[in-house]
Structure 1
Amino acid sequence: MPTIHCYFLGTSQFTKDDQPLKLTKTKGIALLVYLAVERTTQTREQVMTLLWPDSLPQAARKNLRNTLWDIGKTFDEEVVEVDGDTLRLAESVWVDLRPFEDTPLTADSANIERLEEAVALYRAPLADGLSVLDAPDFELWLTTQQQRVGRHYLRLLDILIAAHRKTANWQGVITFAEQALAYDNLQEPMHQALMEAQAHLGERAKAVRQYDMLRAILEQELGVPPLPETESLRSAILNGHIQANPQSIATNSQRPTRKVAPTGSPFVGREAEQAALDEALQMATAGQARIVLLTGELGIGKSRLWQQWSATLPDSLTTLETRCLDNTQSLPFAPLTRLFSHSVCIQHFSQPNAPISPIWLAELTRLLPEIKELRPDLPEPSDLPPTEERGRLLEAFIQILRSLNGQTTILFIDDLHWADQATLDWLVYLLDRLRNESLLVVATYRVADAPAQLVHTVANWKREGQVHHLPLERLTLTEATQLINALGGNPALVEQLYTKSAGNPYFLIELNRAGPEDTPSALADLIRARFDRLSGATQQVLQAAAILEAEFDFETLRRTSGRGEEETLNALDDLLEAIVLTEVRGVYEFSHPLVAVVMREGLSAARRQFLHRRAGEALEAAHSTNVPAVAGQIAAHYAAANMPAPAARYAKMAGDHAMSLVAFTEAAMFYRQAYSLDPAPTRQMDLAEALSLTPGALDEARDTLQQALNVFEAENDKPNIVKACLMQAFSYLPSGEGDKIIAWVERALPHLESIADPAAEARAHFFLGAGGFRIGRSMSEAEAQFAEALRLAVEHDLSETAMNSWFELGNLNLQRGDFAKAREAFQQSLVLAQTKQNIYQEAICHNNLAYATLLAGDIEQARAHIEKGLDFAETHSLMLPRQYLYSTRGEIALAEEKLDEAEQWFLQAITEAEKFDNMVHAANVRANLALVARARGELDEALTLLDDVHHVVAGVTNPHLQTQVDLWLAELYAQRGEPDAAVQALTRAEEHLTSSPRRGLQAWAKRVRRLVQQTTTP
């Protein structure tokens, strides 16, 4: 049987029966690399998504078939086994990765030869030189795998060097140390091993030159001198005798164990603040949600107060703690992700019997993909309108809190001044949603650093009476004396230290720690003096920690610092013992944020840039399975490293991630960053989309789109001209400004004719129909546009456009008075919604089917449709459709003359509409309330309601609703015996209906005309 060999440890090479083969297509090589590395069976869908992300499904399938054919033709054998919808590399194919990765990682003599054979397989990075620019996810995957394989290579070399050093095989040490340095020349222990081996072999000059080379590399790359251990080794070599290298080389791939960090500082004073917290807790326990804000300057003891007070809380209370970080304040929901991503929390609410609905868990997988690993049975998050998606995500976090067992829930959020907008929005939602439940929120922030949105939010809480503000004052002299005594300080120095610290507890503690001989007047100088007492390696690790601030794990810190495991571990132990860092569940952070600030400010610009680059690379490697979640941090590091290209790429990824979390403010910020780093007009389109969904930013979105469009037109970039124009048209759809919708589509049409883009063409026809329909143009013309959109949608499998076109045709036929056609169209839209599993559209279709059936006079069937819609919305926890479902249910009750029931449904509908700022629909429902009042004979109340509605709808483009309101007013004025007012209202309605095909409204206007004539006839 022919023998096929695949060599991927370097440039990809292939042989068959020892004869070289040439696979020319990049995607073919990429596919083989992917299957070889992953080893397990892969689905076609996974491969197509990875290698052809921008292709339509049909095109991607064709590309994959062609690639498989090309591979088969090259090898003249089945190298890739295809079984239905799955692919795998044939077992008969030999791949260099397998012996390289499967060799046991032991240093026993029997395994040394296998280790050396494995190392010899590594020629260069995995699939070196392979680039698939149109498959960014594959590029990211390959980079991650190259780093992983490279780490394994270094690990093998580590083991071999240790084994040869143990047996005094110094030539072996040189061989493998040189290979390690060829891979990463910043590994100082490898330089030490090389120097030691050269000295043992009598090559002292080479050893000293190796030291000089190391010193030059460290100065150029890191801006630091060699470690003292290296200096000692150099001295020993120069003096003619060799000392044992005190730096052992770690060979354990797991993070070594470490010492436990010491406990915190004493606590004095704050009795009044603790009493206020007790009072707030009593109110929360009684069912009144409260928020307590602890404010004060840096070092005043806000977090320490919380720690002291919360330590005594009974176990019956559920206490949750999180914090906002300076370097994550642009990441949506970062504090909540941090809070609920701990394994204990994930395990709790991911159990099959957890008291939380799968609907909410599915929503949380957007932020916490770990849940999906524990609950693979969960459905995918639903594709919903942005407003609905945002509401569901906010509610999902509420449901988590409710699923926790405890009489009262206490949520602590530290450093709220660094909260992202999405988290602030959730806090507002939380305190409103659980207003009458047992909830206490305690938050700290610095007033001087509070952004405008936090100041505004706090002001609203104060107006609503939910907040208790506790500003923390500096310590009195008496309290300072108590603190110094508790710390074991010198009582004679209390007044001196108190004066220097001005009563700031943190400064006071640091001054006491420094001692009387070292008491600089500035806190920053005091902290720098502490740094000077640390070893060189520890300072380098601390510099990396300051760049990563505020939270980081061991591996990320090690990678950023460029130090080995033992070096990093020893430095961590020193920093924990010095209370510079603290550790919680394997995550490290600074004991006080000022420490990180002082360290960062002391770094040179070149050093900061270098460490930021390494931090970006470390985060890439640490989060390779979920890079989008930390893309914003990676972008910030690369931007600070003066690497605009990767910074822009990750900023774009962070913006996309924020969009998936409907965090539009954060998305816009990242897209702005991407554009500033790489000012391409396509990035402005991303920004415009985010701005168009951000409250109050629609005009800026349109201006941004216009700027991009100007560039596209100057470059005659027809596809993007069309895209930008259609985006502009879409922005006017919610407000019903049909003339502007049409104008933007018409601007796109000349360019659309010269490009093959059926999806854009279908959308253009849809917008033309929707625009004309909304401003009362010919219904036949609008119908023709929808029909053409449908034709293209069916021909090119554009199910969303087809679904929306059927729905608009239903609305058009409703206004035309053809209720049978309307029901047929809504039914078609419903079927497509069910096929696409678009639960929002499904609920809306049930609503409109009920409304069309009601207008057709079939009340029983209308009630059946609306009950189905209400049940569906409840089952799927949909919020946005309820405003429409409730109002239609009210109209059915009104038709049945159940006035009280109708009123209750209408009031609920208004409440829901106002939640989503849908003032037009709220006005429409108030018009129905006026009909209830009229039916009761409460004509004054009815007139007041209709007058208010008339003023609201006069300012919008909705001729159908405006006509309805005028006809209701005409009827009411006639009923009240006010013929002149009735004639005025009727005349306005008839003007709207001039040449209108709205047969239902035409017939209604004729009935009202007869009624008005009867009231004016003597």
Structure 2
Amino acid sequence: MAALQLDLLGGFQLRDDAGTVLTLSNKKAKALLAYLSLHAGEAHSRDKLASLLWEDRNETLARHNLRQVLTSLRKVPGLADGLQADVDSVMLAPDFIASDVLQFEHLHSHTQPAELSQAVALYQGDFMEGFNPRSFSFEDWLMEQRHRLRENALSAMNRLLAHYLASDEPASATTLALRLVALDPLQEPVHRTLMTLYARSGRLAAALKQYRICRGVLARELGVAPEAQTEQLYRDIYQQRRQPATTAPEPVPAATNTQAGSRPTQAEARPLPAATTSGLVGRRQEQRLFVSALDACQELACGQAFLLRGEAGIGKTRLVEEYRRLARTRGFSDHQALVLDFGGQSGYDALADLLRSVLQLPAVTAAEQVRSSAARLLGADTPEQQALLIDLLGLPQAPDLRALFDAMDNTARRHGKHHLLNRIVGTLSQQQPLLLIVEDIHWADAMTLHYLAQLAAAVSTNPALLVLTSRVEGEPLDPDWRGMMQGAALTTLDLGPLAEDEARALAQQFPHANAAFVQRCIARAAGNPLFLAELLRTADDDDAAAPHRVPDSVSSLVQSRLERLPPADRQAAQAAAVLGQRFELATLRALLDQPDYHCGNLLTQRLLRPDGEAYLFSHALILDGIYNSLPLPRRCALHGKAAEWFQPRDPIRYAEHLERAEDKHAASAFLHAASVQAKAYHFERAQDLLARGLRLTNEPQTRFELLCLQGELAYASGETAASLNAYQQALDYAETRAQRCRAQLGSTDALRILDRYEEALQALEQACQQAENEAEHAQMHYLRGSILFPLGQIEACQKAHSDALAAARRAAIPQLEAKALSGLADAYYLQGRMVSAYRYFDQCIALCREHGLLRIEPTNLAMRGLTRFFQNDLTGGLADSEQAAALAARIGDQRGECIARNILTDLHYFHGDYVSASTQASQCLQLSRRIGSKRAEVDNLYMLGLSRITRDPASDGLALIKQAYTLSQEHGVLRYNGPMILGTWALAARTPAQRRWALDEGERLLSQGCVGHNYLYFYAFAIEVTLRDSQWDEAERYADALRAYTASEPVPWSDFISVRARTMAAFGRGQRNPTITTMLQRLQIKAQTVGLQLDFPGF
């Protein structure tokens, strides 16, 4: 009997002989055990297994990882006895583990029903379903096994189904047929079998529904209609179900293409079931279309977005209520949110409200509740997504997630939130179909619209529907917004006025109104249901004159109703209107100075409706009517009082009420609100607040602060030209030395990013004349060093960063200190002084980790890895660079990731892992083009070319190297990478003349002064070329040049390259004495120890 049971069909589960589940947390351990179990009794070489599971690692690291995984497997109770391993191979003892896969393979080919039934029962899902091995080679094997086993399962199920049909076992046949179409929905004969089974059992509706499922799958996956046999079966079943006066319609075409915004034709619309009859008047076509969408969403597991568009009061909200009722009857979970024109609290917006509903979170939610919810939904190890969800809900960030969230750039946060919304919709809609509703998007800001586009894209690939409502005037869904939907469809339904017969039907809900009054109301309302309903309600008023007069507008109606309210309620209604469409009772009581006030009369008069613990005006038109009834002085006074209430509670509402109160401090309040939003990294919302503040004031001090913050936010958002414009405008309002210094420093930084170095230095000089404190001096020196670096002014660059470091330490500002350390390291790197550069990079990283400066860490960590390599610590260099790439990707630092992967390319090349070098170069090339860095693009082109041509001399490697050199010339960066490119050109060139030209041109460029890495790499490449061509004198000359360049600060790697060159040259000339051979032996051992892939030909 086997000691263990391993189930791989439908997932991964390992159990002992007592049935206890044994946990394996390491994915590679699971992958290795699965592979060995399917080949039990076979010995596999360690190299083969290491390559299978860690193809992206070099041989040494891969074998090391394999040893670690084997150690973890031996720790599993009972497994150590079955694992047999020696120094070269690994094997799982035969019959040690019983596997459901092996049992299935033994049974599936049998012809007897009993064995087939056992095989089908064993097949609980795809082989290792849901398993992600993170290895392309293993994934290829996995997919091959998965496909083979699935085909065998389908074959067994079809044979067993034929047996059930032949032996007249309809219940078993139906169950098995459902499994078959779930596993392979394109098996049209099985769909027909199900239709027949349903029809024979009298379940005609289920049979017709199965036809629709079949038709939809074929249309979506293959773009074809069902076979004629299927169509005829559908007609036959329909004839059985038809009413006496009904003729069976032709089957609906497999693919219909209704234009967005069009009404369905009679042939396309499905009749509503009796259960849909409700108090809603009219809108039958819109209901039919929505019912069809609900059915399609359930059948096809993909949804769509709707836009209900119409004038105020036309009935959008009432139709949405009906949509919600229809969705609930079909098992959908519905969630609704409202965009507010005014009065929404910070953290209360439509998206946050919708997410709280979807995630079943209370209105007042703590960050820990959100984290728990995210962990249950997305998994425990998702700190980035937890941080993003907390932010989407408008909550203060959790302390232990703050550094991670701060480190992300604006683009990374935006993309991360998009991905998070997709995951939430995708995960929850698989549990229960979703209906998501957002009303009044004509008031939505740009950020909310951005997320709504993402939701529209998400529902298109999941069992979910999105319904948006908007007025025609101000409808914001322009072509740019539709482009953000990523190709998803949007069906627009324009709601027109009610027809006269529909208006009469609505009027029947008001039986107290006399016929003449009803007719006048219908004529006056002109098909607007809200206006008509409000007019008809006046018939219920205790006013004998009501039947004889018809108000001209909703506003007139509201005014009339206000006049009939008691004074206290009338004042409360007006105060509530000042607060906006949604308000809290505590706020209203504060405005009224009535701590015991209740809204009972306002609810009775249908002016308000409850909304959780708050209140909403029953319609925006009613709110407008009440608000406009207020005299301007009274309105301003109430807004001023509301501002006092919100000042300590909500910066945005404080500013908005001051604006409506026409208070002179409103602009400063918008500045404060924008600062609060900026600290939370809500840059789009902060920019909007700043723009509102700028429209309100010409006061120099306030405009200066608004413009400077505008410049900071534009810079942080990557809008460098806009940042420069804001700072230059701010300079016009600067009145003090500190203000002028701040504006000039901001302009300098923007000009630096735009590569306008001369202008940047001019702006910096003007800032220097105004600088007064250490923080300003630290920033000033850092910017100077950063400008001088690309200009190649090495000594001046180094001095500037030294001054910046000293000033930053005096000012005790860790972020500036870390930047200065990074700048100093760059300066030493520029000079080829790699040991000193390493020391400063190392200090910078320590400071970053001490103070949580994750944004600064990735680039410097990658550079520390490169400088470790130059000290012959290749393993440490790889570890640093891989960690840097992972951290940069995690926080969305694309530039940092690009630098890290560029360094990984170099290190893998020198390690002799040309496959990994090519992979990293390709990934980095895509990144560099995405962020628009031509310098990084050049670096990766020539290293990709060198890696390819080293692996395959017939590849396009040399062409890539030549392309890199051309780009370097075109973009003026030859001093940065020209000699390195020429060195690789010489290595790849096929003729002596080409090699000679490349080496001569490289030396010519070096003589003009270049960045330090050019000297190290070029001389190393030149030594390889001349050793290969047996040019011993030239090899020694390049070795001497390399040693001379690093004389002021020796570099261990270049010293090794130089000694090897001289020793190989001596050996090549025929000097085979013990001194030379011993030295070559030591050099060879040293290369192997470090991990350098170097040739020692003839030795």
TM-score band w.r.t. shorter chain: 0.5 to 0.7
Q: How does 1:486-885 map to 2 (within 5 A)?
A: 486=509, 488=511, 497-515=521-539, 516-560=547-591, 562-566=592-596, 568-569=597-598, 572-620=599-647, 624=648, 627=649, 630-645=650-665, 647-675=666-694, 676-677=696-697, 678-680=699-701, 681-690=703-712, 692-693=714-715, 698-712=720-734, 715=735, 717-752=736-771, 755=772, 757-776=773-792, 778-854=793-869, 858-870=873-885, 872=887, 881-885=896-900
Q: 1:479 to 1:817 in 2, by over 3 A?
A: farther
Q: C-alpha distance in 2, partners of 1:541/1:792?
A: 59
Query: Could you say which structure has the larger radius of gyration?
Result: 2
Within the candidate set 425, 431, 442, 1:417 is matched to 442
Q: How far apart are residue 463 of structure 1 and its match?
A: 6.8
Q: C-alpha distance in 1, partners of 2:1000/2:616?
A: 71
Q: 1:798 to 1:707 in 2, by over 3 A?
A: same
Tell me the alpha carbon deviations over residues 826-879 of structure 1, each in whole angstroms, 9 at most, x when there is no partner.
211110110111223333333223344456665433322234335556777877
Is the 1:927–1:949 Cα contact (8 Å) retained in structure 2? yes
Q: Identify the residue that residue 306 of structure 1 maps to in structure 2.
A: 320
Q: 1:393 to 1:309 in 2, by over 3 A?
A: closer
Q: C-alpha distance in 1, partners of 2:456/2:963?
A: 31
Q: C-alpha distance in 2, partners of 1:789/1:780?
A: 14
Q: How far apart are residue 761 of structure 1 and its match?
A: 0.8
Q: How far apart are residue 506 of structure 1 and its match?
A: 2.0
Tell me the alpha carbon deviations over residues 547-593 of structure 1, each in whole angstroms, 9 at most, x when there is no partner.
11121011111222x25244x31xx2122122211111121111111
Within the candidate set 275, 283, 302, 1:270 is matched to 283
Q: C-alpha distance in 1, partners of 2:415/2:312?
A: 35
Q: C-alpha distance in 2, partners of 1:359/1:463?
A: 24
Q: 1:449 to 1:467 in 2, by over 3 A?
A: same
Q: Identify the residue that residue 459 of structure 1 maps to in structure 2.
A: 482
Q: How far apart are residue 953 of structure 1 and its match?
A: 6.5
Is the 1:790–1:805 Cα contact (8 Å) retained in structure 2? yes
Letter in 2 for 1:481: R
Q: 1:291 to 1:864 in 2, by over 3 A?
A: same
SS at structure 2 position matched to 1:326: coil
Q: How far apart are residue 339 of structure 1 and its match?
A: 4.1
Is the 1:974–1:1012 Cα contact (8 Å) retained in structure 2? no
Letter in 1 for 2:1014: L
Q: Identify the residue that residue 496 of structure 2 maps to in structure 1.
A: 473
Letter in 2 for 1:522: S
Q: C-alpha distance in 1, partners of 2:953/2:523?
A: 75
Is the 2:845–2:860 Cα contact (8 Å) retained in structure 1? yes
SS at structure 1 position matched to 2:306: strand
Q: C-alpha distance in 2, partners of 1:948/1:284?
A: 51
Q: C-alpha distance in 2, partners of 1:731/1:538?
A: 56
Q: How does 1:203-602 map to 2 (within 5 A)?
A: 266-278=279-291, 286=300, 288=302, 290-314=304-328, 317-327=332-342, 334-339=349-354, 343=362, 346=365, 349-351=370-372, 354-355=376-377, 357-362=382-387, 382-384=405-407, 386-387=409-410, 388=412, 391=415, 406-429=431-454, 436-451=461-476, 454-461=477-484, 464-486=487-509, 488=511, 497-515=521-539, 516-560=547-591, 562-566=592-596, 568-569=597-598, 572-602=599-629
Q: How far apart are residue 360 of structure 1 and its match?
A: 4.2
Letter in 2 for 1:301: G
Q: How far apart are residue 502 of structure 1 and its match?
A: 3.0
Q: C-alpha distance in 2, partners of 1:282/1:804?
A: 58
> 5+ residue gaps in structure 1?
1-263
Q: C-alpha distance in 2, partners of 1:910/1:296?
A: 49
Q: C-alpha distance in 2, partners of 1:1008/1:877?
A: 34
Q: Identify the residue that residue 26 of structure 1 maps to in structure 2.
A: none
| Number of aligned positions between the proteins | 728
Q: 1:791 to 1:306 in 2, by over 3 A?
A: same
Q: How far apart are residue 359 of structure 1 and its match?
A: 4.8
Q: C-alpha distance in 2, partners of 1:399/1:879?
A: 23
Q: How far apart are residue 425 of structure 1 and its match?
A: 3.2
Is the 2:965–2:981 Cα contact (8 Å) retained in structure 1? yes
Q: C-alpha distance in 1, partners of 2:937/2:464?
A: 32
Q: Identify the residue that residue 45 of structure 1 maps to in structure 2.
A: none
Tell me the alpha carbon deviations over residues 388-431 of structure 1, each in whole angstroms, 9 at most, x when there is no partner.
45555666666766786844444322122222222233344556
Q: 1:558 to 1:329 in 2, by over 3 A?
A: closer
**Higher relative contact order, structure no. (Cα contacts within 8 Å, ≥ 6 residues apart):** 1
Q: C-alpha distance in 1, partners of 2:455/2:986?
A: 45
TM-score, length-normalised on structure 2? 0.58
Q: 1:697 to 1:361 in 2, by over 3 A?
A: closer
Q: C-alpha distance in 2, partners of 1:291/1:812?
A: 55
Letter in 1 for 2:807: L
Q: 1:694 to 1:953 in 2, by over 3 A?
A: farther
TM-score, length-normalised on structure 1? 0.63
Q: C-alpha distance in 2, partners of 1:928/1:428?
A: 40
301-310 or 583-592: which moved more? 301-310
Q: 1:321 to 1:433 in 2, by over 3 A?
A: closer
Q: 1:825 to 1:291 in 2, by over 3 A?
A: farther
Q: How does 1:57-76 map to 2 (within 5 A)?
A: none
Q: C-alpha distance in 2, partners of 1:927/1:790?
A: 35
Tell me the alpha carbon deviations over residues 879-905 of structure 1, each in whole angstroms, 9 at most, x when there is no partner.
775444445445544555555544544
Q: How far apart are residue 296 of structure 1 and its match?
A: 2.3
Is the 1:328–1:334 Cα contact (8 Å) retained in structure 2? no
Q: 1:971 to 1:634 in 2, by over 3 A?
A: farther
Q: C-alpha distance in 1, partners of 2:1021/2:845?
A: 35
Q: C-alpha distance in 2, partners of 1:783/1:618?
A: 54
Q: How far apart are residue 758 of structure 1 and its match?
A: 1.0
Is the 2:745–2:764 Cα contact (8 Å) retained in structure 1? yes
Q: C-alpha distance in 1, partners of 2:301/2:934?
A: 32
Q: C-alpha distance in 2, partners of 1:785/1:744?
A: 16
> 5+ residue gaps in structure 2?
1-276, 540-546, 1032-1099
Q: 1:886 to 1:507 in 2, by over 3 A?
A: farther
Q: C-alpha distance in 1, partners of 2:655/2:351?
A: 21
Is the 2:832–2:1016 Cα contact (8 Å) retained in structure 1? no
SS at structure 1 position matched to 2:1008: coil
Letter in 1 for 2:644: E
The percent of aligned pairs where both chains have the same amino acid is 21
Is the 1:933–1:941 Cα contact (8 Å) retained in structure 2? yes
Letter in 2 for 1:643: D
Q: 1:320 to 1:924 in 2, by over 3 A?
A: farther
SS at structure 2 position matched to 1:343: coil
Letter in 1 for 2:310: G
Q: How far apart are residue 1003 of structure 1 and its match?
A: 5.8
